[in-house]
Structure 1
Amino acid sequence: MSMTSDQRQLLKQIHDRDATVKKPSFMRRSRYQFVIDHGHWYAPTPCPDTMARGDKQQCFKNALELASDDEYLYYVEGFALYSSKGLIVHHAWITDGSGRAIDPTWDQPGVAYAGVPFKMDFVLAAAIADHSVNSVLDDYGNYWPILGELGERSEEWLEPRGFGVLGCVSP
């Protein structure tokens, strides 16, 4: 399967942002490089009518709530494009294990999704440590553990049942 033009645009924006980000010395990589290294492409899919929609601008909470309520849904965090001419958005969604991006936050699915599927126990532990639901990739409250040494131990956080349709690769 080859990348779509929207996926190529999203990957270009991920690389462009990674080239300009300044990261503390304890980080092994930026959140952009983390998605390049560990992420997958997901096929944009309309949210089923039977699925609860979440609050706008609460993607991390919306995805966590749905994935924690259903053992066949998986939390994914990464980057998305809402439209072909849009800008990159740090975003979270769920997948059903067949490579589909099911977005409970946006009214319509975006055009490209690249992200990393995380184990539910890992996401819940991060939420408990933060006392709120925030980004796993941008967990500033805990000094970005996934971007440091923890990022090298994928057995602790990677959810292989949530893999997408194609791994993220450099253009």
Structure 2
Amino acid sequence: MSTAQPAALSFRSAVEADIAEVVKLVESAYRGDASRAGWTTEADILDGQRTDAEGVGAIVRDEDSLLLVVERAGELVACCQLEHRGDHVYFGMFAVRPGLQGGGLGKEILAEAERRAREGWGAKEMRMTVVNLREELIAYYERRGYRRTGELSPFPYGDERFGVPLRDDLVFETLVKEL
């Protein structure tokens, strides 16, 4: 029986050439049947797209943002968005390939994202928004030091760039962590 360890993760900023692959990764982690292989699926509450090339490209080109891509042995396995917003950094578009979820990869990536926010921008807080019905996902972030703020913002109903809601009770809740 082999006891070989998986190849180390490498982190880098996304470039224009990564856009299509990042879109594919994010879609596979959140939408459709492929997403059901992991635990981050939103397929039961949202249909349609999670993102598109235009949205990912805007992040790649934004000087106040970083789209962090994570590779193992040259293969894209995860990504996340960091956006500098003054005293804090917004964390979003976090996606881990569905078949690799649940093995600690997300925890390692989140720690690297927090380190980059703290060291690169001097951020004091990391903030994110999570669909309020995603209790398992919120609990995941709480185990990593994030707290629910009770601050709610409306889901963008009618804007299919963010998906087609299958329910009429979706809102975003802000989570925050002191860095």
Task: Indicate the structure (1 or 2) with the bigger Cα radius of gyration.
Answer: 2
Normalization by structure 1: what TM-score? 0.31
Give the number of the structure with larger relative contact order, counting CA–CA contacts within 8 Å between residues 6 or more apart.
1
